Amino acid sequence: MGPSTLSSMFPLRDDNPTELFPFVTILIIVANVLVWLLVQGGGAPDAFLNSLCAYGTIPGEITGSVLPGETVSLGDAGCTIGGLGAWTVLTSMFMHGGWMHLIGNMWFLWVFGNNIEDSMGHFRYIIFYLLCGALASVAHIMFAPGSTIPTVGASGAISGIMGAYMVLYPKVRVHTLIFLIFYIRVIPLTALTVLGLWFALQLFSGIVQGGGIGSGGGGVAFWAHIGGFIAGVVLIKLFARKTLVEAKHAGIVLTKDQLGRFGSW
């Protein structure tokens, strides 16, 4: 699953400078890349397949309809459930289904994540990111409780980042690549437009698809995207620091002492 499923619109950058160095955002990106290379073998068949069943979220395992040690079918292949249970809600956030899945997720995280980290400080941002990702998985499990298909990806957590961004910075311009058949342009759109349309597409796709992630052992977990986005919208007011957000909206540059206090661990 990946935020880049909005196929005709792709955010390139925003007009929203940061004051805090996005240390955690960079750390999350590095961690995802390292996991893809070292744990998932960069997509090498055996390592990749084993990582899906060992560390991906399998709703049936968590709800008890599938037991650890059982073999589940993934298209033409199969793998044995690793037995981590609910812990896979966290481990699955650092797994991906392919190079493009990884790159798309990390790009969206970079475009929108640095400003959310900037709004709350490093430590709160870690908790916020993981919590949004966990709630995204819970949403997926609720709509597909018996599924044996592993879901992987950071996009549930990143959907939470996007929901938070829409709430905090709805009027910020996001330079977006628009491609509709022969029409290709980079157009500045408001974050409310870009992220609102993205969420509407996820909601429509989730309703059409129903529960699960489609057939054939693959697809997009739309309800995880929806759950993560809603989590971000709801939780951001609890996590954002009012002083940091108000200073940014007012164009005020905080002192190093102020930034150090908010950015501390």
Domain that holds residue 110: 3-263
The H or E element containing residue 190 is: strand 183-190
How many domains does the chain divide into?
A: 1
SS3 per residue for 130-143: HHHHHHHHHHHHHH
Distance of CA 149 to the CA centre of its chain: 19
Closest CA to 133 of 14, 215, 32: 32
How far apart CA 143 and CA 138 sit, in angstroms, is: 9
Please give the pLDDT value at position 256: 57
Paired strand residues for 73: 78
How far apart CA 235 and CA 14 sit, in angstroms, is: 22
Please give the pLDDT value at position 53: 84
Please give the pLDDT value at position 127: 97
Paired strand residues for 176: 11, 187
Place of tokens 């206090």: 261
Please give the pLDDT value at position 253: 59
Phi, psi values for residue 46, rounded to 5°: -65, -50
Please give the pLDDT value at position 265: 46
How far apart CA 55 and CA 32 sit, in angstroms, is: 13
**Taking the alpha carbons of 51, 35, 239, 160 in that order, is the dihedral positive or negative?**
negative
Please give the pLDDT value at position 54: 87
Edge-first strand listing for the sheet containing 173-180 = 9-14, 173-180, 183-190
State the CATH number of the domain containing residue 212: 1.20.1540.10
DSSP conformation class of 212: B
Please give the pLDDT value at position 149: 86
Whole-prediction pTM: 0.88
Closest CA to 113 of 54, 46, 162: 162
- CA distances, 60 to each of 2, 147, 242, 262 (Å): 22, 5, 41, 41
Please give the pLDDT value at position 157: 97
* pLDDT tens for each residue of the chain, 265 residues long: 445 444 578 899 999 988 888 999 999 999 999 999 999 999 998 899 889 888 999 898 888 887 777 777 777 777 777 778 889 999 999 999 999 999 999 999 999 999 999 999 899 999 999 999 999 999 999 988 988 888 999 999 999 999 999 999 999 999 999 887 777 899 999 999 999 999 999 999 888 877 666 544 456 788 999 999 999 999 999 999 887 777 676 666 555 555 555 555 4
